[in-house]
Amino acid sequence: MSTEQPDLIPSFSELGIAPAIVKAIQEAGYETPSPIQAQSITPLLEGRDLLGQAQTGTGKTAAFSLPLLSRLNDRQKTPQMLVLTPTRELAIQVAEAIQGYGRHIKNFHVLPIYGGQSMGIQLRQLQRNPQVIVGTPGRILDHIRRGKLALENLQSLVLDEADEMLRMGFIDDVETILQETPKDRQVALFSATMPKPIHRVAQRYLNNPVEVHIKSKTSTVDTINQRYWQVTGLHKLDALTRILEVEEFDGMIIFVRTKNSTVDLAEKLEARGYASSPLNGDMNQALREKTIEKMKAGKIDILVATDVAARGLDIQRMSHVVNYDIPYDTESYVHRIGRTGRAGRKGEAILFVAPRERRMLGAIEKATKQTITRMQLPSSEDIADRRVMSFKQQMTETIESQDLAFFEKLITSYQEEHNADPVEVAAALAFLVQKHRPLKPVSHVSERKQPRERADRDSRQTNREPRSERPERAPRAPRTRAEHKPEEGMKTYRVEVGAEHNVEPKHLVGAIANEAGLESQLIGRISIMDDHSFVDLPDGMPKDIFQHLRKVWVNQRQLQISMPDSTPDVMEKPAIPARQKPGRTKKRPAIAAKKRQSKSRPKPS
């Protein structure tokens, strides 16, 4: 048999998730709980507090949402569950996920609340009695202070990406909100890392929490060449198609998260001419084995599989593993890529990493003690070269192996009748052959530049707080606009707040991430000067966001963002050295924090 018996992982309903929610996750195509879900669901259903060390991509949203939604009281009108997130983008994403999980619960409402959206809309939506609120700390605090959000009957509070909230300067707001909630509420705190201030919050506000973390077993995988593609500018499917065009592969297994995706993606690849088949836990054993036999026999070349279905798979011709969806943990990554490089052969592993999933990439490198090299997607020219090469090869093979007498006669008679140049005749035939699959493909998708090289990934926060795991070597801070060089794919903007206004990098990250709806990881270098600062943001900022950012307030001043390239360069002294010690900002009263967030404040004189 080609597949091992899967370990006994309890199903969502065996874990005690409410039937309406189980129905929604079945429809979403989830097969089994991810490791963090398997560990968190039972204690959360029992009402325990939880401290989870997990990053994006582990399935942590469902880990807290499924049990906490299962405990909702259908008679209560006031908010029962509050999720705090560091950015508006994450608030929306989490709210959408929760809406999906709760879609079969009667009269279920979830409300995302974040800065940048009109207060009026949010106040109206609050009147619909949402059971769940997901929001950024500043705006949530605004509503509490206006008396519009009552948390006295709150049952549960989730702090999502707590370390990010700390990094962005929101931790004081978070504590103030925690103090506004009932003493007996349940708290779940998730953080990828556990810096001291987060640990302190956990100790102060969590009651005997269950601690869960993702295992990261160290393993080595020497025979496998590992690469990753940073998801930027192109859809994953388009990227995959390009890779398939130029990679020389024999058999390939592509990992996705859900049963539904195995079917969708296999169909799309079939439509693009690749012999593909899904492999998922919904298929019975006989059908799964038949699929595997087809793969072994070369009748199909690509399997699109979930982790569970691919457990123990041993197929020698599997030359490539593509992690289309990032795995939940490092162990699962090692297991996945172990489907290639069988019997001492060489294997290739390719991982797609969305910006939010970079931490998982770091965790994988640490666990495998190997560097995963960044790959560039093949360009249209690469694809054309490849197609031309294989076309020439086919011609050679045809000349060598086919009896062409009839065709030679045909072409000779054509040439004589039309007095044609033989090369021109051959060119016309080549044109006809490639008509439906042009040798020079026209790229229909925009090819945005890949913003950063691998090495930059670690250095791009030069002037922001160092990550605790990085050494404290401080490069000299830029002194001029000219010295503040943007990375590839980024543009430098000037904002009219600086050290004189007590601004710190995290204030700018927090304000820009929330107001521009930008992931904080996408905000590049920040250089704080005396009365202004430079911030690197991804190239191609839409005009409306630019206009909006001009009016955003930070430390009681409007950003007045502009593009400094049109202004003269002057010698300036850096007001804040290149790297700063991480740590808490001066404790400021929550009300001041609210003012910092509010953009409706009148401009101070």
Is residue 241 part of the contact set for ligand AMP (CB under 6 A)?
no
Determine the Cα–Cα distance for residues 155 and 68; give it in Å rounded to an integer. Answer: 9
**Least CB distance to ligand AMP at residue 355 (A):** 13
Which is nearer to ligand AMP, 327 or 486 (by Cβ)?
327
Which is nearer to ligand AMP, 100 or 564 (by Cβ)?
100
**Least CB distance to ligand AMP at residue 56 (A):** 5
Task: For residue 562, give the DSSP letter.
Answer: B
Determine the Cα–Cα distance for residues 468 and 475; give it in Å rounded to an integer. Answer: 16
Question: For the chain, how far is it from start to end, CA to CA, in angstroms?
Answer: 78
DSSP for 35-49 reads HHHHHHHHHHHTT--
**Least CB distance to ligand AMP at residue 180 (A):** 26
SS3 23: helix
Judged by CB under 6 A, the stretch of 53-61, 469-477, 524-532, 568-576 that binds ligand AMP is 53-61
Determine the Cα–Cα distance for residues 218 and 331; give it in Å rounded to an integer. Answer: 8
Indicate which single residue of 258, 380, 502, 555 sits in contact with ligand AMP (rule: CB under 6 A). Answer: 258
Residue 67 in tokens? 């049990």
Is residue 59 part of the contact set for ligand AMP (CB under 6 A)?
yes
The whole-angstrom distance between residue 73's C-alpha and the CA centroid of its chain comes to: 33
DSSP for 417-455 reads HHT--HHHHHHHHHHHHHTTS-SSPPP-S--PPP---HH
Q: What angle do CA 431, 433, 434 make, to 5 degrees?
A: 70
Indicate which single residue of 39, 61, 87, 176 sits in contact with ligand AMP (rule: CB under 6 A). Answer: 61
Determine the Cα–Cα distance for residues 505 and 526; give it in Å rounded to an integer. Answer: 6
Judged by CB under 6 A, the stretch of 57-65, 315-323, 550-558, 587-595 that binds ligand AMP is 57-65
Residue 515 in tokens? 């107001």
Is residue 60 part of the contact set for ligand AMP (CB under 6 A)?
yes
Which is nearer to ligand AMP, 513 or 526 (by Cβ)?
513
Task: For residue 524, give the DSSP letter.
Answer: -
Determine the Cα–Cα distance for residues 354 and 323; give it in Å rounded to an integer. Answer: 12
Is residue 62 part of the contact set for ligand AMP (CB under 6 A)?
yes
- Under 8 Å between Cβ of 463 and 578: yes
Which is nearer to ligand AMP, 8 or 286 (by Cβ)?
8
Is residue 327 part of the contact set for ligand AMP (CB under 6 A)?
no
- What kind and span of H or E run contains 533? strand 533-538
Size of the site for ligand AMP (CB under 6 A): 14
Residue 49 in tokens? 């507090």
Which is nearer to ligand AMP, 60 or 596 (by Cβ)?
60
Cα torsion 120, 121, 124, 125: sign = negative
Which is nearer to ligand AMP, 257 or 288 (by Cβ)?
257
Which is nearer to ligand AMP, 61 or 527 (by Cβ)?
61
Q: What are phi and psi of 275, to 5 degrees?
A: -70, 105
Interface pattern 14-33 for ligand AMP (x via CB under 6 A): ----------------xx-x
**Least CB distance to ligand AMP at residue 469 (A):** 21
**Least CB distance to ligand AMP at residue 257 (A):** 4
Judged by CB under 6 A, the stretch of 50-58, 145-153, 205-213, 238-246 that binds ligand AMP is 50-58
**Least CB distance to ligand AMP at residue 454 (A):** 23
**Least CB distance to ligand AMP at residue 421 (A):** 58
Which is nearer to ligand AMP, 324 or 553 (by Cβ)?
324
**Least CB distance to ligand AMP at residue 12 (A):** 8
**Least CB distance to ligand AMP at residue 22 (A):** 12
Instruction: Give the residue ranges of DSSP H helices in 435-568.
Output: 454-459, 505-516, 543-550
Instruction: Give the residue ranges of DSSP H helices in 278-319.
Output: 285-296, 307-310
Which is nearer to ligand AMP, 281 or 574 (by Cβ)?
281
Q: What are phi and psi of 490, to 5 degrees?
A: -120, 160
**Least CB distance to ligand AMP at residue 455 (A):** 27
Q: What are phi and psi of 471, to 5 degrees?
A: -65, 160
Count of alpha carbons within 13 Å of 19, Cβ hemisphere only? 0
**Least CB distance to ligand AMP at residue 61 (A):** 3
Indicate which single residue of 139, 257, 507, 579 sits in contact with ligand AMP (rule: CB under 6 A). Answer: 257
**Least CB distance to ligand AMP at residue 34 (A):** 5
Which is nearer to ligand AMP, 153 or 258 (by Cβ)?
258
Task: For residue 61, give the DSSP letter.
Answer: H
Is residue 79 part of the contact set for ligand AMP (CB under 6 A)?
no
Which is nearer to ligand AMP, 30 or 108 (by Cβ)?
30
Which is nearer to ligand AMP, 357 or 487 (by Cβ)?
357
Indicate which single residue of 40, 56, 262, 276 sits in contact with ligand AMP (rule: CB under 6 A). Answer: 56
Is residue 598 part of the contact set for ligand AMP (CB under 6 A)?
no
Determine the Cα–Cα distance for residues 366 and 469; give it in Å rounded to an integer. Answer: 12
Given the rule CB under 6 A, which residues bind ligand AMP? Answer: 30-31, 33-34, 37, 56-62, 257-258
